Chain A
Amino acid sequence: MNDNVTITIDGKGISVPKETTILAAARALGIEIPTLCYHPKLLPIGSCRLCLVEIEGYEKPVASCTTPVVDAMKVTTQSEKLLALRKEAIQFMLVNHPLDCPICDKGGECRLQDLAFEFGLDQEVFKIAASPLLIDYLSPLVERNNNRCVRCGRCVSVCNEIQGEMAIEWVNHGYDTEILPRGGYPLNCEFCGQCIAHCPVGALLNRPFKYKARAWELEKIHSVCPYCGGGCAIELNVRKNKVLRITSSYEDTHNQGNLCGRGNFGFGFINNNNRLHSPLIKRRKDQVPVTWEDALGSASEQLKKILKSSGPESIAGLGSPRVSNEDNYLFQKFFRAVIGTNNIDSSVHFNYRNLERGLRATLGLSASSHGFDALEKAQVIFVLGADVRAESPPAALKIMKMARVHGSTLVVANPRKTKLDKFANVHLRYRPGTELLLVAGILKAVGEKNKDLLDNIPQFPVLKKSLEGIILQEISEVTGVPLEQIYQVATILAKRETGCIVFGYEVFTHQQAKEVVVSLGNLAFLSEKVSQKDRGLIPIIAKNNVQGMLDMGVMPDLLPGYQQFEKGAPFEKVWRQPIPKQPGKNAEAILQGILDGKIKALYLMGCDPLMEFPFPDKWEEASDKLEWLAVQDIFYTEVATKADYVFPAVTFAEKEGTFTSGERRVQKFFPGISPYRSALPDWEIIQRLSQLMGYPMAYAHPKAIMNEITSLVPQYNEITYERLGRNGITLSSTEGIPHFTPFSINKVAKPKPGSFTLITGTAFFHSGTLSTNSGLTVLGSKAWVEINSEDAGSLEIHEGDPVTISSAGKAISAAAKITSAVPRGVVFVPNNFRDVQVNQLVANQNYCPVEVTKG
C-alpha cells in the first residue's frame, strides 16, 4: 500500500500506516518508551516530555507520542542524552510534589512513584520553596489536590473528549499552570469519576474511597455494573470482605474502562447496614425474625394450602430486571413447573416489554439489531425519546464521539433538552406523547421525497396504507415540530451513509409503545432501502437485566426464548412436568385479580409495586388483601412492610451469575464478598422453596442453571457458561426477515394553550431506586420539578420554591428547579425518589396533563 511508510527504530525496521505516531510504531515493535501523559484512549497530549526520542537529522529530541512517522525516519529511543532528559523531566515534576506517598491513596499504583523508582531518583534535585495550593474539600465525590498534580492534562482530556462535559480547564501558564473546575470550586459536573480513574498520580481522589485502603491490599474481582443496560465490565475492589471501590480497566473491557457516576460511586448499597439480614414472618401484626427453615417451611405449607383450595391460577409472581438470568429463569420455572401457572410478570410490562413485540413484527428481531459498536460506524444517528446519557451512558459516549470527532450527523428528538442536544446538528422538540405522530410524519416525508425509488419496492404499499391519513401540516401542528425539520430529518435519514436509529424510555412508556417501535422498525427498514446503507435500530435500556429477564421468559404470554406455549414440549421434557398452555395474567391483570379476590398469593422477587408500578394506591390496597405475600429483596421495601414472609436476598457482589445487557451481551459476574448475614442468592431461595413444595430442584451452582438455559433457549444455544470470557458474548437477535408492517395511530389532541404536561424519567445520577441507597445521595436525595423559566416567571415561582402538581384529584409536591431544559408548558419530575411518587399521576405512561401551582 502507498499509505504505508517504512521507518527504523533502534535499528529495527517497520512499515506502518501514515498517521501512526512514533510511539505506536515503537510499541508495535515491542520497544518500550516511558510515557506518562499518553493514554491510548485519548488524543496525544504531549505535556510530560518523557517519551522523547532522537531522530537522525533532527536537531532536538521530539515527543514520540505526538510525532507522526515520516518515511525513512531513523529513530533512537535509548541514549545517555535521552536518559538524562527523562530524568530531568521527572525531577521537574517532583519540584513541587509533596512527599505524600504514605498518605496518598494512589501510593502503590502511582505512575510517578513507579517512574521515580524505575529511574532511581531518590533525591530532590531542584529545590524551590513550595507554595501550597488549595485542596478542594468542597466538591462531592471528587477531591482535587493540585499540589500533587503533574499537569499532564489527562483529566481535562478525558472530561472533554470522552465525557463531553468540559467541566475542568487549564488556567495560568508556565510555572503557575493549574487545573481548576470551570467556574471555580466546588466542581459542578456529571461526577462520572473518569478524571479520577485517569489521573496517573494522586491529585484526584475518589472521596468515598479516601483513606479506605492501600492499593496493594485490594483484591480485584471481575463483575458487571448492576445499573444500566450498558453492562459495563467492572472490578470490585475488595478488602476484608468489603467492596471499597469500583474500577474498570482500559485493556480488557468492552467499555474501555469508561464508567459513569453510578458505576463508579453507586455501589454503597452493597455495604449498607439497612439491608435485610434475616427472614421475617408475620405473626399476628408484627414481623418477627426467624430461621430460613421456619420461614420457608411455613411459607410452603401455606402456599400448598392455597394451591389445594383455590388452584394454581390463584397464585402469581412478579420478577425483576435487576437480578441475574439464572434467578429469573428459576423464578419462572417455579411458577410454570412447580405451581402450574403462567401468572408471572414484572415492572417491564409497563415499558420495555413492547420492544420485542415491535421489533419482531417489523424487523424479525428479538432484541437490538446491532451491538453498540454499530454506533461507532454510524455516520447518521437519529435519537428519539431517549435521554441517552442518563439511560445508558456507554451509548451516549459513543454517539458523542461520532458527532464530535468523526463528524456524524446527529438528530436528537426529545420533549426536553438532553445532554446530546449540545452535539446535535438538528434537535426536534416535540410535545410529550407525540412520538408516533412524529415518526409517521418522517416516514411520510421520506416516502414523498423518494417516490420513484419506493414505487419499485413491492412491499411498500403496506406501509403507504398506514400513512394514508397523515397530513404533514397537521403532524407539525400537533407535535410542535416545524415542517421543515421533518423534511430535514427525512433527508438526513435518506443519506447514503451507514446509520443508527436510537430510541429509549419515552418510546417505551408511550401509550402505543408497540406501535412506535413498529413505526421505528419501518423507518429503519425504509431508510435502509432508500439510502442503500445499513441502518441499526438500537433500543436504550435503562436497567441492567431487562433483556435477560425477557429472554428468560418472565412474562405471562411466552416461554423462555419467546417461545409459544404449543412449542413447550422440550420444556416439559426437561422439567418433567406439564406446563399450562393458557397465557397467564399480566401485571395489570394480577392487580385486578387480587382486588377481585381471585388471586390470593403473590411472590415478589426484587419487585416493589408500591414504588415502581402505576397506581401505587391500588397496589397498597391489594397487598393488604392477599392471603400470602412473600417479598424477596435486599432492602426492606415499601411492600415488604406488608409481607407475610420476607426473604433476604444477596446483591450481585455476593453471588455468581450472568446478566444480559441492552445490546444483548451476556456477561458473567463473580462474588467479591460473602453473603450479608443470613441473606441467600435468589436462585437458592427459589430452589429451597420449590423443594419444600415437593418439586425437586438440585442445582449446585448457577452454572448448572445456565446449562439448562442454553439447552432450552434457542438464542442462548451458542454460548456455554465456560466460554463467557471477560467481556461475555453478544448474541445475535435475527429470527426473521424485515418487512414493512402496518400500524395504527391514535389521535392526539393539541394541548390547550396555557396548560401543562408533566413528564417523568430517570434522574441522571440515579437508576431506579437502587442508587438511592448508595453514596450517590450526596448529589441529591430528593425529587425536584424542572420548570421553564418563562412559565416560572408567570407563576411567580422562584428557584427552590415548593411546587404542587396535580391531576385527577392526586397531587405531588417538590422544589422547583428553573431551567431552559424543558420547553414552555412542560414540567419534568424524576421518578427515582421515594419522597415523591410521580407514578401516582402519570399511571402507565410517562406524561400526563397536569395543573401546576405554587406552594
Chain B
Amino acid sequence: MIEKTIKGIWALLIGLSVTVKFFFTRPVTMKYPEEKREPYLRYRGSHILRLDEKGKEKCVACCLCATVCPAQVITIEAGEGNEHEKYPVTFEIDMGKCIFCGYCVEACPKAAIIMSQSYELAEYRREDLSYDKERLIKTGK
C-alpha cells in the first residue's frame, strides 16, 4: 500500500516537472491576432498585380495565368488602351477557390503577377472573396 502511494507521488512529480519546465521555456503559440507571425519568404499568400514605373499595370492580359490556373479562378477581359497597348479591362481572382499553387506567377511572362505574404483572407461574404483588379493592385501598395 505504502509502496503504491510513493510510486504514485513519484509519477506525479515527474509529470509536474514537465509542466514546471515549460514555465521557464519560451511559448510556441502566439497571441494571434494581437501578435502576428512573419511568414517565410517563399510563403504564397494573396496575389498582387504589379505596376510599372509609369504607374500602369504591367499585365498585358496575355491570359497565360488564367490558362495555367488549375483551379480556373482567374477571369480576364482584355482591351485596347489609348496607345493601342493591350491591358486587362477586368482581372479577377476568386480567392475562395484559389489553391495558392503559384502557377500563375510562374507562367507570367511579364512578372506582372506575384504573391504577397498576406494570409488574412477571411471575409463575411462570399462575394468579397473575389478580388478585382483594383484590389489586386492595392494589395501591393
Give every chain A residue within 8 A of B62 (Cβ-Cβ): 101-103, 107, 214
**CB < 8 Å A-B pair total:** 28
- Over the window 99-110 of chain B, the binary record of Cβ atoms lying under 8 Å from chain A Cβ atoms (1 yes, 0 no) is 000000000011
- Over the window 117-145 of chain A, the binary record of Cβ atoms lying under 8 Å from chain B Cβ atoms (1 yes, 0 no) is 00000000000000000010100000000
Q: Does A32 contact B (CB under 8 A)?
A: no
Interface residues of A in 791-850 (CB under 8 A from B): none
Given known A216-B67, A217-B63, contact A102–B80 (CB-CB < 8 A): no
A102 and B67 form a contact (CB under 8 A):
no
Query: In angstroms, how far is the closest chain A Cβ from the Cβ of B69?
Result: 13
Give every chain A residue within 8 A of B60 (Cβ-Cβ): 102-103
Q: Does A212 contact B (CB under 8 A)?
A: yes
| Closest residue of A by beta carbon distance from B67 | A216
| Cα-based distance from A101 to B107 in the complex (angstroms) | 13
B80 and A214 form a contact (CB under 8 A):
no
Contact of B110 among A102, A107, A210, A216 (CB under 8 A): A102
A211 and B63 form a contact (CB under 8 A):
no
Given known A102-B109, A102-B110, contact A214–B86 (CB-CB < 8 A): no
Give every chain B residue within 8 A of A217 (Cβ-Cβ): 63, 67
Give every chain A residue within 8 A of B109 (Cβ-Cβ): 101-102
Interface residues of B in 48-66 (CB under 8 A from A): 60-64
| Closest residue of A by beta carbon distance from B86 | A103
A211 and B78 form a contact (CB under 8 A):
yes
A211 and B80 form a contact (CB under 8 A):
yes
Query: In angstroms, how far is the closest chain A Cβ from the Cβ of B89?
Result: 9
Query: In angstroms, how far is the closest chain B Cβ from the Cβ of A107?
Result: 7
Query: In angstroms, how far is the closest chain A Cβ from the Cβ of B109?
Result: 5
| Cα-based distance from A137 to B82 in the complex (angstroms) | 12
Query: In angstroms, how far is the closest chain B Cβ from the Cβ of A196?
Result: 17
| Cα-based distance from A212 to B86 in the complex (angstroms) | 10
| Cα-based distance from A420 to B64 in the complex (angstroms) | 47
Interface residues of A in 215-249 (CB under 8 A from B): 216-217
Query: In angstroms, how far is the closest chain A Cβ from the Cβ of B83?
Result: 10
Q: Does B31 contact A (CB under 8 A)?
A: no
Q: Does B79 contact A (CB under 8 A)?
A: yes
B67 and A214 form a contact (CB under 8 A):
yes
Q: Does B126 contact A (CB under 8 A)?
A: no
Give every chain B residue within 8 A of A216 (Cβ-Cβ): 67
Chain A residues touching B, range: 10 to 19
Q: Does B37 contact A (CB under 8 A)?
A: no
A137 and B63 form a contact (CB under 8 A):
no
| Cα-based distance from A211 to B81 in the complex (angstroms) | 11
Interface residues of B in 78-126 (CB under 8 A from A): 78-80, 84-86, 109-110
A211 and B67 form a contact (CB under 8 A):
no
| Cα-based distance from A103 to B85 in the complex (angstroms) | 8
| Cα-based distance from A135 to B80 in the complex (angstroms) | 15
B110 and A211 form a contact (CB under 8 A):
no
Contact of A212 among B64, B78, B85 (CB under 8 A): B78
| Cα-based distance from A435 to B62 in the complex (angstroms) | 57
Query: In angstroms, how far is the closest chain A Cβ from the Cβ of B67?
Result: 7
| Cα-based distance from A211 to B90 in the complex (angstroms) | 13
| Cα-based distance from A533 to B105 in the complex (angstroms) | 70
Interface residues of A in 70-107 (CB under 8 A from B): 101-103, 107
| Cα-based distance from A101 to B80 in the complex (angstroms) | 16
| Cα-based distance from A214 to B64 in the complex (angstroms) | 9
Give every chain A residue within 8 A of B63 (Cβ-Cβ): 214, 217
| Cα-based distance from A214 to B80 in the complex (angstroms) | 14
Query: In angstroms, how far is the closest chain B Cβ from the Cβ of A141?
Result: 15
Given known A102-B109, A135-B84, A137-B84, contact A211–B64 (CB-CB < 8 A): no
By CB atoms of chain B within 10 A, which of A103, A107, A137, A210 has the most?
A103
| Cα-based distance from A103 to B84 in the complex (angstroms) | 11
Query: In angstroms, how far is the closest chain A Cβ from the Cβ of B70?
Result: 16
Give every chain B residue within 8 A of A210 (Cβ-Cβ): 80
By CB atoms of chain B within 10 A, which of A101, A107, A214 has the most?
A214
Give every chain B residue within 8 A of A137 (Cβ-Cβ): 84
Give every chain B residue within 8 A of A103 (Cβ-Cβ): 60-62, 85-86
| Cα-based distance from A217 to B109 in the complex (angstroms) | 18
Give every chain A residue within 8 A of B85 (Cβ-Cβ): 103
- Over the window 171-212 of chain A, the binary record of Cβ atoms lying under 8 Å from chain B Cβ atoms (1 yes, 0 no) is 000000000000000000000000000000000000000111
Give every chain A residue within 8 A of B86 (Cβ-Cβ): 103, 211
By CB atoms of chain A within 10 A, which of B79, B86, B109 has the most?
B86
| Cα-based distance from A103 to B87 in the complex (angstroms) | 9
Query: In angstroms, how far is the closest chain A Cβ from the Cβ of B30?
Result: 42
| Closest residue of A by beta carbon distance from B80 | A211
Interface residues of B in 25-63 (CB under 8 A from A): 60-63
| Cα-based distance from A282 to B79 in the complex (angstroms) | 41
| Cα-based distance from A216 to B67 in the complex (angstroms) | 9
Query: In angstroms, how far is the closest chain B Cβ from the Cβ of A98?
Result: 13
Query: In angstroms, how far is the closest chain B Cβ from the Cβ of A550?
Result: 44
| Cα-based distance from A102 to B63 in the complex (angstroms) | 8
- Over the window 647-678 of chain A, the binary record of Cβ atoms lying under 8 Å from chain B Cβ atoms (1 yes, 0 no) is 00000000000000000000000000000000
Give every chain A residue within 8 A of B78 (Cβ-Cβ): 211-212
| Closest residue of B by beta carbon distance from A135 | B84
Given known A211-B78, A211-B79, A212-B78, contact A102–B64 (CB-CB < 8 A): yes
| Cα-based distance from A854 to B60 in the complex (angstroms) | 53
| Closest residue of B by beta carbon distance from A216 | B67
Give every chain B residue within 8 A of A214 (Cβ-Cβ): 62-63, 67
| Cα-based distance from A101 to B79 in the complex (angstroms) | 16
| Closest residue of A by beta carbon distance from B78 | A211
Query: In angstroms, how far is the closest chain B Cβ from the Cβ of A271?
Result: 14
- Over the window 299-315 of chain A, the binary record of Cβ atoms lying under 8 Å from chain B Cβ atoms (1 yes, 0 no) is 00000000000000000
By CB atoms of chain B within 10 A, which of A102, A107, A210, A212 has the most?
A102
| Closest residue of A by beta carbon distance from B89 | A211
| Cα-based distance from A103 to B79 in the complex (angstroms) | 11
| Cα-based distance from A602 to B119 in the complex (angstroms) | 66
| Closest residue of B by beta carbon distance from A217 | B63
| Cα-based distance from A107 to B86 in the complex (angstroms) | 14
Give every chain B residue within 8 A of A212 (Cβ-Cβ): 78
Contacts A102-B64, A103-B85, A214-B63 given; 15 further ones with Cβ under 8 A? A101-B62, A101-B109, A102-B60, A102-B110, A103-B60, A103-B61, A107-B62, A137-B84, A211-B61, A211-B78, A211-B79, A214-B62, A214-B67, A216-B67, A217-B63
- A sample of 6 cross-chain residue pairs with beta-carbon separation below 8 angstroms, ordered by A number, consists of A101-B109, A102-B62, A103-B86, A211-B61, A211-B80, A216-B67
Closest 5 CB pairs of A and B: A102-B62, A103-B86, A211-B78, A214-B63, A103-B60
